[in-house]
Amino acid sequence: MTTTHFDATRDLIIVEARVWRSLESVPVSLAIDTGSSETVLAPYVVDDLGFNPRDGDVITRVRSAIGEEQGYTLRVTQFAALGFTLRDFRVHVFDLAAGFGIDGLIGLSFLRKFNYEIRSIEGQIRVERAVI
């Protein structure tokens, strides 16, 4: 089991993560969002790694609190968060609402691979790989 700490005084649960393309990686600040079916990265994150929309799998439309956004899916070499790393991981790339200080969301596409417990008062997320 891993334990990741977050600032319990903030409005969002924000954790540090890392995204790779081949051997190059960038750190990102992501909000935990159990209401998002997909893990989302802002376009500037994948741009920094040298990706562009032509590297994507499919163009998508995502409904969010700010309306319908067009984006695309993309496979990154590795995605690491909450003490675990997944290879060849699919993310959605689209613009997020400004002003939250995040680079994206960790959605259920990542979280459903694990058992996790959010301890809000203690500012902790405890995660263990799911045994199926």
pLDDT, tens digit, for every residue of 18-37? Answer: 999 999 999 999 999 999 99
Chain segment 70-121, per-residue pLDDT in tens: 899 999 999 999 999 999 999 999 888 777 899 999 999 999 999 999 999 9
Of 90, 68, 73, 67, which Cα lies nearest the Cα of 19? 90
Taking residues 46-60, what's their average pLDDT? Answer: 87
**What pLDDT band is residue 59 in, cutting at 50, 70 and 90?**
confident
Instruction: Give me the sign of the Cα torsion angle 14, 11, 40, 37.
Output: positive
In the chain, where the domains are located: 12-116
**What pLDDT band is residue 130 in, cutting at 50, 70 and 90?**
confident
CA distances from 73 to 3, 59, 123 (A): 29, 7, 31
12-116 has which fold? Answer: Cathepsin D, subunit A; domain 1 (2.40.70)
CA distances from 58 to 75, 76, 77 (A): 11, 14, 17
User: Distance between CA atoms of 91 and 43, rounded to whole angstroms?
Assistant: 11
The structure tokens 């596409």 sit at: 109
Residue 64 has a pLDDT of 66
Which tokens go with 48?
Answer: 């920094």
57 vs 129, higher pLDDT: 129
